[in-house]
Amino acid sequence: MKVLTVLGARPQFIKSCMLSKALKLNTEINEIIVHTGQHYDDNLSNVFFKQLELPKPDYFLGIGSGTHGQQTGKMLSALEKIMTSVNPDIVLVYGDTNSTLAGGLAAAKLHIPVAHVESGLRSFNKKMPEEINRLITDHLSYCLFAPSQAAIENLRREGIVKNVYLTGDIMHDAVRYFSSIALEKSTILQDLSLSKRNYYLVTIHRAENTDDPKRLKSILEALQQLKIDVVLPLHPRTKSRINHFNLTDSITSPHIKIVEPLNYFDMLTIASQAERIVTDSGGLQKEAYMLGVPCITLRDETEWIETVETGWNHLAGTNTQEIVDSVMKSQIPKKSPSIFGNGDTAQKIVNTLVNKKCDLE
131 Cβ partners below 8 Å, 6+ apart? 96, 122, 123, 124, 125
Under a CB-based contact definition with an 8 Å cutoff, are residues 133 and 98 in contact? yes
Residue 54 beta carbon to ligand UD1: minimum distance, rounded to whole angstroms? 16
Residue 333 beta carbon to ligand UD1: minimum distance, rounded to whole angstroms? 26
Whose Cβ is closer to ligand UD1: residue 129's or residue 341's?
129
Which residues form the interface with ligand UD1 (CB under 6 A)? 9-11, 38-41, 44, 65, 96-98, 129-130, 205, 236-237, 240
Say whether 183 sits in a helix, a strand or coil.
helix
Say whether 165 sits in a helix, a strand or coil.
strand
Q: Answer yes or no: 205 catalytic.
A: yes
172 Cβ partners below 8 Å, 6+ apart? 286, 290, 340, 341, 342, 343, 345
Where b means 16+ CB within 10 Å and e means fewer, 232-250 reads bbbbeebbebbeebebeeb
Residue 344 beta carbon to ligand UD1: minimum distance, rounded to whole angstroms? 25
> Between 320-329 and 213-225, two packed helices, what is the crossing angle to 10 degrees?
40
Under a CB-based contact definition with an 8 Å cutoff, are residues 273 and 196 in contact? yes
**Cα distance between residue 276 and residue 170, in whole Å:** 23
Q: CB count, 10 Å around CB of 151? A: 27
Under a CB-based contact definition with an 8 Å cutoff, are residues 287 and 175 in contact? yes
Residue 99 beta carbon to ligand UD1: minimum distance, rounded to whole angstroms? 7
Whose Cβ is closer to ligand UD1: residue 40's or residue 49's?
40
What does the DSSP 8-state code read for residue 64? -
Under a CB-based contact definition with an 8 Å cutoff, are residues 314 and 308 in contact? yes
Whose Cβ is closer to ligand UD1: residue 206's or residue 314's?
206
**CA-wise closest residue to 210 among 153, 128, 146:** 128
Residue 98 beta carbon to ligand UD1: minimum distance, rounded to whole angstroms? 4
Annotated active-site residue in 39, 172, 205, 314 = 205
Whose Cβ is closer to ligand UD1: residue 116's or residue 205's?
205
**CA-wise closest residue to 222 among 291, 285, 276, 294:** 276
Whose Cβ is closer to ligand UD1: residue 130's or residue 266's?
130
**Cα distance between residue 37 and residue 56, in whole Å:** 13
Whose Cβ is closer to ligand UD1: residue 98's or residue 347's?
98
Residue 89 beta carbon to ligand UD1: minimum distance, rounded to whole angstroms? 26
Whose Cβ is closer to ligand UD1: residue 240's or residue 248's?
240
Under a CB-based contact definition with an 8 Å cutoff, are residues 255 and 180 in contact? no
Residue 96 beta carbon to ligand UD1: minimum distance, rounded to whole angstroms? 6
Catalytic residues: 205
